[in-house]
A and B are shown apart, each in its own frame.
Chain A
Amino acid sequence: MNAPEPTPPSGKLRWLFLWVSGLLLALLLGSGVLVVRFLAEMRTQELAATRALAERTRALSGLWLSIQSYDQAVQQFVAQTAADLDTEARRRLDRLTLEIDSDFDRYPSVLDSQEAALLNGMRGIFSQQRTLYVTILAARPAERRRQADSLLARHLIPVQKQILDWSGKLQVWNGDRLQHADQGLVIQFANLQANLSRVLAIAFGSGLLLVLGSMAYIVRLDRQTRARYVDLVRSQHALEQLSARLVDAQETERRSISRELHDEVGQSLGALLVDIGRLSTALSGDHPEVKAQLDNLKSVAERTFQAVRNMALLLRPSMLDDLGLAAALEWQGREISRRSEMEVSVESESVPEDLPDEYNISIYRLVQEALNNAVRHSGARNAKVVVESLAKSMVVRVADDGRGFDPVRSRGMGILGMEERVKHLGGTLRVESQPGKGATVTAELPIPARGTV
């Protein structure tokens, strides 16, 4: 009877959101990893560059020292005249030569042609110097002394200077290279920055899209939920009204059937009984067999009369109309006491008079239902119906000493019906029971202001 099945929010959209969010996360993660790895790389490169520089500088200074020692040794050798020391000096020079060679070899593997040229130049000068020394060394001591000063001034010192120059150049070149490496790093860093900016821009853009999309989606959902809530409340209200109308209709129907039974069938039977009685009196012993038949007829009519009366009462207790709610509740209690094993006591002194009929019938049915439940299910020996009037409300309580039940789990149609009626009158219903401890049904109803309803 309501709107068709509500359509669930489209699955496609959900997938899109999932994709975009995934993409965003991947981007962020990817760029993070990229940055970390780049930084590590840069550090390694920087370290390598510095280490290479340090290594070269060390090798260079080692070489430089060796050459210096060599030069010194040559100068000493030239200066001294004792022939017995010659052999040892020569040996020392040879050793230093070997050392210098190994120093050259030890220089870190050459990186590019410029460095190689510089190194080779230096090596060339050294071998040039050595050739010179070899010539000097071949001379006799006396000749050596004579030539020493000119030799030193003409050859050794310029060569030394040249070597110094070359090594200086090499050092400068090394410094340049470090700077070059640094510049490379700077460029790489700038690249990274650019890349990172791009990635972040994309991430921000898609994030923004995602947020806007989600917001739009949420707004739509919210609107739908609101609309649905309003619908729900409305249909719930309609349902309540419908059930109230059903209850009303049922009562009206019952009342009219009851009236019909009582007025038409009941009264005709009553009249019949009166007539049979008069007939029977009129016969007064003249025709015993006719009188017996009349008596039989009378008892049939009486039974039918009783049956009709009970039916009418069940449909609509006429005491409710004739005597009011208090009397009807008392009657109800006595009826159940008569019919069942349960004794019902009713305290109805404080039932407000002139309650609207809607209240009378609802309270009556409520008590009826509660008592019938107690008789049918609880095996109670005693039940008590109490009606209390408070300032602005009235309390109807039906308590029994039966075996009780779990009111949370067993909520039968009876309780639902009672709840429906009570709710319709703006009241509340409470069912308290524990297995083995009887049950109490309590309804609290607002007393309507006079003149309303």
Chain B
Amino acid sequence: MNQTRILLADDHTLIRAGLRMVVDAQPDLTVVGEASDGREAVAMAGQLKPGVVVMDIGMPSLNGIEATRQIRAALPDTQVVMLSMHSDEGYVLRALKAGAKAYLLKDSAEADLARAIRAAVAGKSFFSPAVGQVLLQDYMRRLERTGAEDSYELLTPREREILQLVAEGKSSKEIATLLNLSVYTVETHRAKLMQKLNLRSVPEVILYAVRKGIIR
């Protein structure tokens, strides 16, 4: 059986123990190592080459975001599931920019961890439902208070389709194949929708999609 190999990185033994039990309860997942800070996580990931690293954000010596950046740069096949206490978009966006695929809140980690790991392995994004809620609330409140118009309404159906696929982590080539379009056309749609929504990077597109509840 082809099990997904997992590295746990958290500076708290109790949390690591809890997470290990959750992961080990899944037949398709196995914990291959535990790191207690960011630096150790980077080193162990280099040795073990795990499929997924479950990474806490707040860690001593090297925080989870920086460790994620380094791991993703060194090991493109290793996905990162970020664990955090915060549902704030500052964290989410930075985690995404560093290369994390999934973002889980610690207080709901137990329920969603296995799903998040599986989504990450499949190259898909995953967020704790609470994160999506917070992001959406912030977004709606801002629209309401500033009287700005929801730029999502400006998108064509095709652009919305492509937005969702980009947010799910698909490349332009994959999208082109999926929608039976040329890569060039997909790129054009993509550029246009990002311009309309004032988004500058794929992580921002993902964040936007989470915020709008397009993906979760």
Contacts and interface: CB of A to CB of B under 8 A. Distances in A.
Nearest to A341: B145
Interface stretch (B40-48, B82-90, B174-182): B82-90
B111 A277 contact: yes
Interface stretch (B102-110, B119-127, B186-194, B205-213): B102-110
Contacts of A268: 14
B18 to A, nearest CB: 3
B106 A322 contact: no
B12 A271 contact: yes
A273 B145 contact: no
Contacts of B57: 322
Contacts of A343: 141-142, 145-146
B58 A322 contact: yes
Contacts of B89: 334
A443 to B, nearest CB: 22
Contacts of A369: none
B90 A327 contact: yes
A109 B14 CA distance: 139
Nearest to B14: A271
A309 B84 CA distance: 11
B14 A323 contact: no
A274 B19 contact: yes
Contact of A330 (B90, B141, B145): B90
A331 B12 contact: no
Contact of B12 (A270, A302, A328, A338): A270
A270 B91 contact: no
User: Taking chain A's interface residues, is the majority helix, strand, or loop, or is none over half, making it mixed?
Assistant: helix
B85 A266 contact: yes
A274 B138 contact: no
A262 B91 CA distance: 17
Interface residues of B, number: 33
A262 B120 CA distance: 28
Given A323-B90, A330-B90, A343-B142, A267 B110 contact: no
Nearest to B21: A278
B142 A274 contact: no
Given A271-B17, A323-B90, A337 B138 contact: yes
A275 B25 CA distance: 13
B86 to A, nearest CB: 7
Interface residues on A, range: 20 to 34
B15 interface: yes
Interface in A293-323: 302, 305-306, 309, 318-319, 321-323
Contacts of A330: 90
Contacts of A302: 107
A358 interface: no
A331 B57 CA distance: 16
A347 interface: no
B22 interface: yes
Contacts of B131: none
Given A273-B110, A327-B94, A319 B65 contact: no
A270 B145 contact: no
30 contacts: A263-B12, A267-B15, A270-B18, A271-B14, A271-B15, A271-B18, A273-B106, A273-B110, A274-B19, A274-B22, A278-B18, A278-B110, A306-B107, A309-B85, A318-B86, A319-B86, A321-B58, A322-B57, A322-B64, A322-B91, A323-B65, A331-B86, A331-B88, A331-B90, A334-B138, A335-B88, A337-B142, A343-B142, A382-B145, A382-B146
Given A271-B18, A343-B142, 18 more contacts: A267-B12, A271-B12, A273-B106, A274-B15, A275-B18, A277-B111, A278-B110, A281-B110, A309-B85, A319-B91, A321-B63, A323-B63, A327-B91, A331-B88, A334-B89, A337-B141, A338-B138, A338-B141
Interface of A: 262-263, 266-268, 270-271, 273-275, 277-278, 281, 302, 305-306, 309, 318-319, 321-323, 327-328, 330-331, 334-335, 337-338, 343, 381-382
